[in-house]
Amino acid sequence: MKSNISSKLYTHLIFWILYLILEVYLDFYWSRYQFPDFKWPVRLQNTVMLELGYLLIKIPLAYAMLYVYEKINIKRVFKYLLCIIILVTGVLVHRFFTHYIIYPFIYGVKETLDGHQPSGFINGLVAFNAFMDLIFMVGLVFGIEITRQKNLLNQQISILKAEKLDQELTMLKAQINPHFLFNTLNNIYGMALKKADETPDVILQLSKVMRYNIYEAAVKSISLEKDIDNIKDFIQIQKIRHHQLSVVFNEDLDHPSQEISPLILIQFVENAFKHGVSESLGHSFISIDIQLKNGILTYRIENSKEERSQGQSTKMGLKNIHRQLELLYPKHTLSVEDQNDRYIVELSIDFNDTSSL
């Protein structure tokens, strides 16, 4: 609210300064024809005094009409009628100021239409000129204010959209991470009952992964190298659980510090374990290939599955991931191949694309 008021004051202050400069320039240019005997310093001084005097009329008029238009809650026809009354009052004050003050006290002459005949206080032509002058000014003020409000509204909409996207991403990520935590805790519980020697190692690996998920990943972007290290830690935990698992991990990065949204890539690995390896009765495998060349990430995961496996839950998981990618990297490419005995997922992200930042 406070920044909105400051923005309005700053915008309107700049407007009135520029408007005054414009009016002084135009009237100063016109005065050399109406008052050719006046020296230019005198004409400039008179023009500045003239326009400052007019501002005392125009500023209250403009904001009175703006107040009626924005704040007074009445029927539109009465609102227009009230604006017309304010405008007519402004024309009369404008004419009074011009006829009785400007010409006799500033220029020291009587007001005339053509340089010869005196003009009355109410005259059709001069009243029309005053009307057009005020209409032009009011139109500028309304245009400036409407534009300012539109820009402010667009900024607020952009902020709300960004907040909505952040909230949606947080919710989408939260749907996946607890699954891994609960499963791992169950595994640790089972290992503890058996008094397995690997139990302390699993706890340490879990602590490292959760530290990354909760603290290090609580940012919009992180280096690709750190995100891949988290995937490796995750796989180490799963390898302790799945003794018959074969893992092939290929990594080729020409720019390891390339930033990426955290916890995006690991979700494909989680999906591979949840709907592939965990459902396999015998030997299972996961093949992961990550390459980054010239700002283009290519990510391929291939994992085994049982031929009887139902793919609906897999599709639901990939739908969640795909939604996150749409929000973060709109021009990504993602393909999923569901074969009889394996899943193949290929993802490509072009970090050179500015729309993906």
Outline which parts of the chain fall under CATH 3.30.565.10: 175-356
pLDDT at 117: 46
The β-bridge partners of 260 are 222
Dihedral sign for Cα atoms in the order 172, 177, 179, 182: negative
Each residue's pLDDT tens digit, 222-271? 999 999 999 998 888 888 777 778 889 999 999 999 999 888 898 888 88
Check: CB of residue 181 under 8 Å from CB of residue 210: yes
- Domain 175-356: CATH superfamily is Histidine kinase-like ATPase, C-terminal domain (3.30.565.10)
**Helix axis angle, 265-275 to 224-241, nearest 10°:** 20
Q: Which residues of the chain have pLDDT under 70?
A: 1-4, 109, 111-125, 163-180, 276, 278-282, 307-317, 354-357
pTM of the predicted protein model: 0.54
pLDDT at 355: 56
pLDDT at 113: 55
Q: Is 242 helix (H, G, I), strand (E, B) or coil?
A: coil
